[in-house]
Structure 1
Amino acid sequence: MEWRNLPTDLVENILSRIPAMTLARFRSTSKQWSAILKSTSFAKMHTAKAPKREDESLNIMLIDSNVFQVRISLGAPYVKVANNPFYLKDPLSNSSQVGVLNVFHCNSLLLCTTKDKRLVVWNPCSGETTWIKPRVIYRESDYYALGYTYDSKSCSNQYKILRVDLHKDVPPNNEYEIYDFTSNTWRILGVATDWFLALYRRGISVKGNTFWIATQAWSPHNNFLLSFDFSAEMFQSLSLPRPFPYSILALSVVREEQLCLLSLTNKELQVCVTTSTGSWSQLLVLDLTFQYEISSSQFSKGMSFLADKQSKVVRCLNSDNVLSTVQENKDIQVNRLGRGKRESITHDNFESSSVLLNYAPSLTQTQQDYTRKRKSPST
C-alpha cells in the first residue's frame, strides 16, 4: 500500500515516532504530510511519542547574524558548526534570508529581533514563523522575552511575549507590555521604576518564566535576580548566591529546569544553580590560577555559556565569536568561529552578542489554534 493511501490517523501515528530533526525534512513530501506537521494536535502527539535520543540534544549559535546548528563533544574540545545556517525566510522577499540581531530561547522556540527591526517567533526545526506587529514601534534598546502559562482546559502552553521599553530617565522609567497569542494583541501592563537592566544582560527562560541580573535604581545599586512571571504578569525580586559573587558574568539554564549563574572570583570560575526550594547550590568551581594568559575578552560582558557538571566543563561564547572551553586541570581551549571579530551592530556603546544555547528540537508551536500566519509587518 502506498503512503498516500494510508489513513491519516495511521500516518500521524507513524510520523509521531520519528525524531524532530529528521521529521522536519519531510515537510515537502506531500501536502498531506505538510498539513499534519503544522497541526497543533500532531505537535502534542509528537511530544508524547517521539524518541528522546541523546543525539537529538544539540546546541545552536547566533553567529554573524545567522543561527547555526553546532555539535560540541563532551570530552575533547571538538566543535563543528553546520555548513549552512537555519534559514529564516523573509516573507517580504521570497529570495531573501533575514539577518538576526538577537535571539531569546523558550521551549524550542526562538524569539528573534532582526537587523531591520522586526520581531518573529521561529521554530528552526519545523520552519514555522509568526511575525509580530508592534503596538507602536520596536527599538533596538528594547528587552524581549518569550514565556508561557499552562492552560488546563486545552492541556497546552499559552505563549506570551514581554516587551520592556527601557528609557534613559533617572530614575528609571521602564514601560512594559505583553503580547498574547490568543488575541494577537499587545496590552500595556505598567511602569517599573525601582530597577534597570544593562543592555548586555541576557534574559533566560526557565519553566516558562524569565530571569535577568538587574541593578537597584537606588543607592547602593546592588545587583539582584529579577524575574517575570508570565502567569501573574508581574516582576519579582529574588536573591543571588551568598557570599555575593565578585563578578557576575552571565545566566544560563541546565536541562531547561535550573537557572545557572556564572561568576569569576579570584581566578576561580564558579557556576551555581537554583534548587527546588529557590536557594542556590554550587555546581562547579574551576581553578584558573595555573592559566598563564587569560584574555579579558574571553569572559566579557554580553557573553553566553553552557555548563556540564558530569564532565566539569564550561563553554563560553563571547561577542567576537570566540568559544572558550574551560575544563578542570586543563588549559583553556579556544575555537574561533564565524568571521572572527564580527560585524558590529551598536547602539549606546552596546554590541549585540553572539549567543550559545542548548536546543532540544521539537515541533512546538505558539498555539496555532488561535494564531494565524500573517505577512511580516514593516516598522
Structure 2
Amino acid sequence: MLSDLPRDMAEEVLSRLPVTSLRGVRSTCRKWNTLSKNRTFTMKHVREAKKKQRKEFQAVMILGNRVSLFSLNLLNPSIGPVGKLISLDNADRVDIYNIFHCHGLLLCITKDRSRIVVWNPYSGQTSRIEPRTSYNILDRYALGHERNNHHYSHKVLRFVDECYPSIREFEIYNSNTNSWKVLHVNPDWDVEFFRRGLSLGGNTYWIAQDKKLVAVQGGDRSFFLLCFDFTTERFGPRLPLPFAPNHRDTLALSSVREKQLAVLCQKCCSYTLTIWISSRIEPNAVSWNKLFLRVDMKPLTGFPFFFGAGCFFVDEKNQVALVLDKDGGTPNPTRNIAYIIGKKGYFKTVDLGESGCWPLGCSYVPS
C-alpha cells in the first residue's frame, strides 16, 4: 500500500503534490497526516512549489465569491483551476469579498463584512479576528509581518477615513498578543475605497491621493505611492510614481518575484496601458528605471479596463502581463476574462466563467 512507503520515499512523492491535494493526503492515514505537518516536509514542499513558480504562476482567485488556486501560463495561454484550497471554515458556504496575501497567509474578508479571518491554505489553519469594537463596510485592510530573529509576527492593519459619514479609525492587530491597538494617524492623504494594497517584504503599499488636491482631479502631485511599515507601525513618506495619472485612469499594483513592485496605468483618454517595474523598493524609497510594457489597448479591446478592478500579474522573463477584468464592451458584462498582453501585438484572452462580481486575485506561494 502507498501508506506503507518508507518515510523518505513518501516525503519525496508527497512533496511534489499541489497544495490543494494536502487535504486528501492528510485524510488518507495518520502516518501521512503527521508527515505532512512535519517542518522538514513543509520546507521541502515549499521549495518544490517555488520551483514550479519559475515555469508558471500560481494565483489565488476569487470568482463568484469562491476562493480557488489557479495555475497561470502566460506564454502559452492557459489558466486552469488547480483545485479548492483546504477549507476556510467550511469555505464552500462562506462568501469571500476580498483577499490579501502575505508570506503564505491569506487575509479573507467575508461578503457581509462581518468577519475577517487569517487563513493558511497550506495547513488549513484559520484564525478568526474579533473586532475591537466593530467593523465598517468602508474598512481598508492590509496583512503584513514584523520579522525578529527569523520569526514572523503577523499583523493586520484596519483603517477607515471618511468625510461623509464622518469617521476615522486606524488600528492594528498583533497575532502574538491577540489584541488590537489604536494608531493615532491624521492623514493628509486618502486611499480610495476600491484601491487594493499590495504586500511586499512584509509591508503594504497603496496608490494614494493628496486630500487637498482631490478637487483638481489628477496631476503629477495628486497621486503617489504610500507604504505602511508593519515593524515600525507607521506610514512612510510619499513615494513617486513613474507617471502622472488622472483620477479616471486605471491604476493597480502587483509584485514581481515577491521582490519588486509593478505598477499599471491605463489612460482613460488614450487607452494606452503602461507597466513599470521598480529597481528598488523600500518603505521610505523607490526607484523606477524600467518601463516593462507599453501597449495601445484600443485596437485590441476597444474599451478601457475597469478603474476599480486592480488585479494583474507580470511574467518578467517572457515579457507578458495578465489583467483580470470583465467582458467589457458589452451592455451587462458578466464573464470573467483574463487578458494576456505582450509586446509586438501579442494578445490573448481566456474566459474564466460567469459571476456577478469583478474577479480578484493575488499570486500565492505556500510557506
* Structure-2-length-normalised TM-score: 0.80
Counterpart in the other structure of 1:271: 275
Q: Deviations over 1:215-264 (max 9, x none)?
A: 11113661111110000000113322344245352111111111110012
Counterpart in the other structure of 2:141: 144
C-alpha displacement at 1:274, in angstroms? Answer: 1.8
Aligned residues: 340
C-alpha displacement at 1:159, in angstroms? Answer: 0.6
C-alpha displacement at 1:292, in angstroms? Answer: 5.7
Q: Deviations over 1:155-183 (max 9, x none)?
A: 2211111111233359x864211111111
Counterpart in the other structure of 2:330: none
C-alpha displacement at 1:17, in angstroms? Answer: 8.1
Residues 310, 15 of structure 1: alpha-carbon distance in 2 compared, 3 angstrom cutoff: closer
Counterpart in the other structure of 1:318: 325
From 94, 97, 115, give the equivalent of 2:111: 115
1:334 aligns with 2:349: yes
Counterpart in the other structure of 1:252: 254
1:226 aligns with 2:241: no
From 148, 151, 154, give the equivalent of 1:156: 151
Counterpart in the other structure of 2:190: 196
Gaps of 5+ in 2: 216-221, 327-333
From 174, 188, 193, give the equivalent of 1:180: 174
Q: Secondary structure at the match of 2:94?
A: coil
Residues 36, 168 of structure 1: alpha-carbon distance in 2 compared, 3 angstrom cutoff: farther
**Share of identical aligned residues, percent?**
29
Residues 12, 115 of structure 1: alpha-carbon distance in 2 compared, 3 angstrom cutoff: farther
In 1, the alpha carbon distance for the partners of 2:41 and 2:5 equals 22
C-alpha displacement at 1:32, in angstroms? Answer: 5.2
In 1, the alpha carbon distance for the partners of 2:135 and 2:180 equals 12
Counterpart AA for 1:113 = I
Whether contact under 8 Å (1:324, 1:334) holds in the other structure is: yes
Gaps of 5+ in 1: 345-352, 365-379
In 2, the alpha carbon distance for the partners of 1:232 and 1:118 equals 26
Counterpart in the other structure of 2:51: 53
Whether contact under 8 Å (1:67, 1:85) holds in the other structure is: yes
Counterpart in the other structure of 1:375: none
In 2, the alpha carbon distance for the partners of 1:115 and 1:121 equals 15
* Structure-1-length-normalised TM-score: 0.78
Residues 343, 49 of structure 1: alpha-carbon distance in 2 compared, 3 angstrom cutoff: closer
Counterpart in the other structure of 1:369: none
1:359 aligns with 2:364: yes
In 1, the alpha carbon distance for the partners of 2:226 and 2:47 equals 36
Q: Deviations over 1:61-80 (max 9, x none)?
A: 11100112222223233222
C-alpha displacement at 1:118, in angstroms? Answer: 0.6
In 1, the alpha carbon distance for the partners of 2:311 and 2:280 equals 24
Counterpart AA for 1:79 = I
In 2, the alpha carbon distance for the partners of 1:284 and 1:96 equals 39
Residues 64, 95 of structure 1: alpha-carbon distance in 2 compared, 3 angstrom cutoff: closer
From 289, 292, 304, give the equivalent of 2:311: 304
In 2, the alpha carbon distance for the partners of 1:307 and 1:205 equals 16
In 1, the alpha carbon distance for the partners of 2:237 and 2:79 equals 37
Q: Secondary structure at the match of 2:18?
A: helix
In 2, the alpha carbon distance for the partners of 1:135 and 1:289 equals 46
Whether contact under 8 Å (1:259, 1:273) holds in the other structure is: yes
C-alpha displacement at 1:108, in angstroms? Answer: 1.7
In 2, the alpha carbon distance for the partners of 1:37 and 1:192 equals 47
Q: Secondary structure at the match of 1:218?
A: helix
Counterpart in the other structure of 1:288: 296
From 88, 95, 102, give the equivalent of 2:98: 102
Higher-strand-fraction structure:
2
Whether contact under 8 Å (2:3, 2:32) holds in the other structure is: no
In 2, the alpha carbon distance for the partners of 1:178 and 1:322 equals 35
From 201, 204, 221, give the equivalent of 1:210: 204
C-alpha displacement at 1:81, in angstroms? Answer: 3.2
Q: Secondary structure at the match of 1:303?
A: coil
